[in-house]
Amino acid sequence: MIVQNTKEWHQLRRSRLGASDAPVIMKVSPWKTPFQLWSEKLGLSNAIESNTAIERGKQLEPIARNEFEKQTFTPMFPEVRIHPKYEWMMASLDGVDITGKQAVEIKCPGKVDHEKAMNGVVPEEYVPQLQHHMAVLEIDFIYYFSYNEESSKILRINRDDKYIDNLISHEKEFWDRVQNLDAPPLIDKDYESKDDEDWEKVVLQYMKCYEIDKKNKEELEMLREQLITMSNGRNAQGAGLKLTASIRKGNISYDQIPELKNINLEQYRKAPTKFYRLSF
């Protein structure tokens, strides 16, 4: 049994898609982009494990769960579940009853989101999370409990099968990208705005060098093709230059080798590395 906030739990979260990942994948998260999440799953960047809001939530969660139990007369227990069909899909529940049929998602949010809950509305960024939970637990409803030191609100949220089908489709597409090292499209939030003089100075220098180098490369390639044409496909030499034709082996199509059909070659793949591409 995996206990939340342990080393084993953090490792499991990196190798699965959890409910907190769902809003990112559905592009309603104000905190993280799909590319940032993709990078975290591959270990190319670190997930934000703590900040003031997160620490406040951790401190208030046991108090909030106790208050929920008092209001509903239902004992709730934190639990980690894996989807029975999709092993890449997990859920870390704030509370599940002993029957496994009732669950609660506890939020100790800021003023704006708490006021929405008090008015009977679940904030948009939490909708995918709740449906993700219901998908993993295969339950028909879940409680959303918004809590602060002065007030609280329980909302019963029903399962939406059409939404869940769409959610799982998007999550599967994202998880395939993680497995295939295929980065999601970048958005404006994925770029840090730089407007200082030092940055501008280096960019101008780079652009100048790039244009010179680009011009030289284009001219060299043109002259290279001209020499190949003039050699009539044969080895040639003259004026201090040798033109030698050589044969390069073709790439091996590993997917065409019968003996490798049932072998998982991914286990032999080296760890991914980050690289940078400059563009204008």
Give the phi and the psi of residue 198 in degrees, each rounded to 5. Answer: -60, -45
Q: What is the pLDDT of residues 148-193, one digit of tens each?
A: 999 999 999 999 999 999 999 999 999 999 999 888 988 888 887 7
Is residue 194 very low, low, confident or very high in pLDDT (cuts 50, 70, 90)? confident
C-alpha pair distances (Å), 15 with each of 80, 89, 97, 133 = 14, 9, 26, 17
Sign of CA dihedral 178, 183, 189, 191: positive
pTM value surpassing 0.85: no
C-alpha pair distances (Å), 88 with each of 7, 34, 58 = 18, 17, 25
Q: What is the pLDDT of residues 14-47, one digit of tens each?
A: 999 999 999 999 999 999 999 999 999 988 887 7
Confidence (pLDDT) at 55: 83
3-class DSSP assignment, residue 236: strand
Q: Which helix (H) or strand (E) segment is 82 a member of?
A: strand 77-82
Confidence (pLDDT) at 203: 78
Closest-CA residue to 24 (of 176, 180, 170): 170
Is residue 49 very low, low, confident or very high in pLDDT (cuts 50, 70, 90)? low
Confidence (pLDDT) at 277: 62
Cα angle: 210, vertex 214, 217; to 5 degrees:
140
Confidence (pLDDT) at 158: 98
52 has a pLDDT exceeding 80: no
Q: What is the pLDDT of residues 100-148, one digit of tens each?
A: 999 999 999 999 999 999 999 999 999 999 999 999 999 999 999 999 9
